[in-house]
Amino acid sequence: MASNDGAVLVTGASGGIGVATVRALADQGMTVFATVRDDQGGALDGVAGVRMVEMDVTDPKNVELAAEQVAQGVGDRGLRAVVNNAGVIVQGPLELVPPEELRRQFEVNTFGPAYVTQAFLPLLRRGHGRIVNVTAPTARVTAPFLGPISASKAALNSLSTAMRGELAAWKIPVTLVEPGAIATQIFAKAEAAARSALANTDPARAALYGPHLTAVARATEKQSTSPPEAVARTIVKAVQARRPKRRYAATRDARVMGLLSHLPAGVRESMVLRAFGLSGIKAGA
């Protein structure tokens, strides 16, 4: 049985931030229910205090079944926290993003946390727990060609703010954690998916964005990244804090983006265009 001071659910535990977070929470002596799709939790094999749970966050019925499984593990003691970490990145010119990719973006990043929260709230009430939602700085400072990921996380931010008010009567905090650019495979997967989408679209339309995408690729190559452990440490802080903040910026670039979000829109957008090398690029033929 899990202990009352240490039962935590973490979604998206198959790699990157998820694996680092599960390990960090387990190191604190907590029992961690780590959710993965299709038995992909090999990176956590043998880690003390970790219990693997197969769950697809985009399938409400599957999420409910996982909640029943976790409920059997924690009993009346409930959960200390639910960490909604599972996420994907869909990027590229919105004009050329395939509808199924746009739908997948919101199913994982926005609907997924909503389904998980709905199913696991009874366990959070029992454990006097809290919700930690992993968002992104681009939810507040949107960049060109990152529209899908930005919109999905902005929607998650709005849901989190609404839930904070709805759950105040039960004293269930709702916290956002903002990672910046992290050294994980999620960005490589996003780039591969974007290239595949461009390869399958009208070449003439794709060529219109050639100079833009080249500039963005060059800017991205110069971007420094932080290790996933930096985000994991912030998530542990959000789980353990007596009075958790509404929002934690986990890395330096996330903190910088937070400052940019307070600038006038015109100034902010001009700075973003320059940062991505997009200032002055002319329309394609």
Task: Using a pLDDT cut of 70, give the percent of the chain over it.
Answer: 94
What is the pLDDT, as a whole number, of residue 5?
60
**pLDDT exceeds 50 at position 1:** no
Asked whether the beta carbons of 5 and 75 are under 8 A apart, the reply is: no
**Residue 52 pLDDT > 80, yes or no?**
yes
**Highest mean pLDDT of the ranges 134-138, 201-205, 214-218:** 134-138
Question: Between residues 160 and 186, which one has the greater pLDDT?
Answer: 160
134-137: long-range contacts, CB 8 A cutoff, minimum separation 24: 134/17, 134/83, 134/84, 134/85, 134/87, 134/176, 134/177, 134/179, 134/231, 134/235, 135/160, 135/176, 135/177, 135/178, 136/178, 136/179, 137/178, 137/179, 137/180, 137/249, 137/253, 137/254, 137/257, 137/258
Q: How far apart are CA 36 and CA 11, in angstroms?
A: 7
The tokens describing 123, both together, are 């366990």
How does 165-193 read in b/e, with b if 16+ C-beta sit within 10 Å? eebeeeebbbbbbbbbebebebbeebeeb
Instruction: Please enumerate in sequence order all residues whose Cβ is within 8 A of that of 141, keeping only pairs 6 or more positions apart, or say none.
Output: 257, 260, 261, 268, 272
Please report the domains of the chain, with CATH numbers, ordered by start residue.
Answer: 7-209+223-252 (3.40.50.720)
pLDDT reading at 3 higher than 50? no
Mean pLDDT across the stretch 172-186? 89
What pLDDT is attached to residue 2?
37
* 27 pLDDT tier (thresholds 50, 70, 90): very high
What would the mean pLDDT of 187-200 be, rounded to a whole number? 73
What confidence score (pLDDT) does residue 176 get? 98
**pLDDT-based confidence at residue 218 (cuts at 50, 70, 90):** confident
Question: Roughly how many angstroms between the first and final C-alpha of the chain, as a whole number?
Answer: 65
Q: Using 50, 70 and 90 to split pLDDT, how confident is the model at 4?
A: very low
Q: Which of 1-5, 15-19, 159-163 has the highest mean pLDDT?
A: 159-163
Categorize the per-residue pLDDT at 40 as very low, low, confident or very high, splitting at 50, 70 and 90.
Answer: low
Q: Which residues of 30-43 are buried (b: 16+ CB within 10 A; e: fewer)?
A: bbbbbbbbeeebeb
Q: Percentages helix, strand, coil for the chain, rounded to the nearest 5?
A: 55, 10, 35
For residues 188-202, give the mean pLDDT. 75
Q: What percent of the chain has pLDDT over 90?
A: 75
140-155 pLDDT per residue, tens: 999 999 999 999 999 9
pLDDT at 81: 98
The rounded distance, in Å, linking the Cα atoms of 114 and 131 is 11
Across the chain, mean pLDDT equals 91
